[in-house]
């Protein structure tokens, strides 16, 4: 009798693992709709709140920022920091206590990072996904989708995406690291009808005065 119960438990455990590893068709439809709408936009500009929480000790810190996205290009503004990515080159500009520096990298060397543009397509390769549920938030229906990495060496093992059901817009996401930390991004205001010049995504040192340049290309 005990052996029979054990075998049943093992079978159920195996079945649940297989079921979890499969890609949820309903979640894929939501993600496809969000990705398709994003790709159809001329550009997107939004203000957001960023929070990092350490689950192990309960500490958290928050800051606000602005993001502009156009295809694979983005321009991120944070307190004392700006990041420009024109699809080929990434400039990370830091200004603190009067000191200014910009670090330059090839965009291809940062492909493993989850960026404001790649978050719309991250599910398409290397991840399983499932719809966790829906909830009402400020009059909108928000759908929560969990992504889990197919490989143990993936840069991000677990990501949650939050989509507006009616507008098919991404309103936020969460990234879980292997140290018990959670990175949360939530859009506060979004403009999906903005036409941004390509030059907006390229760092122009003439606009920032004397800047130390660290070129790592």
Q: What is the DSSP track for 48-104?
A: EEEEEEETTT--EEEEEEEEEEETTEEEEEETTEEEEE-SSEEEEEEEETTEEEEEE
| Whole-number pLDDT of residue 111 | 66
Contact of 88 with 97, CB cutoff 8 Å? no
Mean per-residue pLDDT, 80-94: 94
Rounded distance between C-alpha atoms, residue 44 and residue 192, angstroms: 5
Distances (CA, A) of 118 to 70, 110, 114: 11, 11, 6
Q: Give the closest residue to 28 by CA, choosing from 149, 185, 156, 147.
A: 147
User: Each residue of 124-134: pLDDT tens digit?
Assistant: 988 999 999 99
- The per-residue pLDDT for range 159-190, each reduced to its tens digit, is 999 999 999 999 999 988 777 788 899 999 88
Could you tell me which of 82, 70, 79, 67 has the C-alpha nearest to residue 204?
82
Going along the chain from its start, the domains and CATH numbers come out as 23-215 (2.50.20.10)
- Give CA–CA dist 137/159, Å, rounded: 20
Its pTM stands at 0.78
What are the structure tokens assigned to 105, written together?
A: 């990298």
Least confident of 22-26, 112-116, 152-156, 158-162: 112-116
Q: How many CB atoms lie within 10 A of CB 76?
A: 19
């Amino acid at each position: 009798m005990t052996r029979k119960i054990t075998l049943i438990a093992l079978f159920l455990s195996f079945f649940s693992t297989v079921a979890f590893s499969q890609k949820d068709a309903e979640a894929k439809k939501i993600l496809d709709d969000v990705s398709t709408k994003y790709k159809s936009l001329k550009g997107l500009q939004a203000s957001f709140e960023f929070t990092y929480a350490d689950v192990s000790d309960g500490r958290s810190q928050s800051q606000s920022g602005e993001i502009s996205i156009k295809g694979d290009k983005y321009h991120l503004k944070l307190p004392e920091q700006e990041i420009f990515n024109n699809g080929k080159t990434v400039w990370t500009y830091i200004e603190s206590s009067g000191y200014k520096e910009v670090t330059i990298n090839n965009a291809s060397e940062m492909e493993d990072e989850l960026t404001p543009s790649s978050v719309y397509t991250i599910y398409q390769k290397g991840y399983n996904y499932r719809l966790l549920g829906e909830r009402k938030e400020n009059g909108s229906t928000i759908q929560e989708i969990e992504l889990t990495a197919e490989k143990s060496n993936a840069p991000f093992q677990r990501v949650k995406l939050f989509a507006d059901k009616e507008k098919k817009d991404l309103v936020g996401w969460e990234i879980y690291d292997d140290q018990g930390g959670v990175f949360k991004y939530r859009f506060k205001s979004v403009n999906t009808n903005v036409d941004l010049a390509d030059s907006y995504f390229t760092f122009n040192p003439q606009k920032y005065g004397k800047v130390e340049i660290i070129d790592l290309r």
